[in-house]
């Protein structure tokens, strides 16, 4: 399976969204509810979009 998000970004977003870090340490990211995973993906897309906006040259 391809790794789509770095561990660092996932941890940062998880912390921002209040993901139970102990649960992740004990059981892995697979133990996180689907709704929370969707929120992580949504937040990752927002971070990527903001990064792209910052890289665009000003006209």
Residue-wise pLDDT for 7-56, tens only, equals: 888 889 999 999 999 999 999 989 999 999 999 999 999 999 998 999 88
Whether residue 1 is contained in a domain is answered as no
Residue 4 tokens, joined: 């789509």
Whether residue 42 is contained in a domain is answered as yes
Q: DSSP 3-state helix, strand, coil percentages of the chain (rounded to 5)?
A: 75, 0, 25
pLDDT at position 6, please?
Answer: 85
Instruction: Give the Cβ contact number of residue 32 at 10 Å.
Output: 19
Whether residue 43 is contained in a domain is answered as yes
Whether residue 19 is contained in a domain is answered as yes
Number of residues that this document lists for the chain: 59
Whether residue 20 is contained in a domain is answered as yes
Whether residue 2 is contained in a domain is answered as no
pLDDT tier for residue 5 given thresholds of 50, 70 and 90 = confident
Q: Please tell me the distance from the alpha carbon of residue 7 to that of residue 36, in angstroms, as a whole number.
A: 16
Instruction: Give the Cβ contact number of residue 14 at 10 Å.
Output: 20
Per the structure, the count of domains in the chain is 1
Domain encompassing residue 26: 7-55
pLDDT tier for residue 2 given thresholds of 50, 70 and 90 = low
């Amino acid at each position: 399976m391809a790794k789509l998000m770095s561990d660092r970004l996932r941890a940062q977003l998880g912390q921002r969204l209040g993901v139970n870090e102990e649960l992740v340490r004990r059981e892995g990211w697979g133990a996180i509810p689907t709704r929370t995973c969707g929120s992580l993906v949504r937040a990752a897309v927002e971070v990527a979009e903001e990064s792209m906006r910052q890289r665009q040259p000003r006209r």
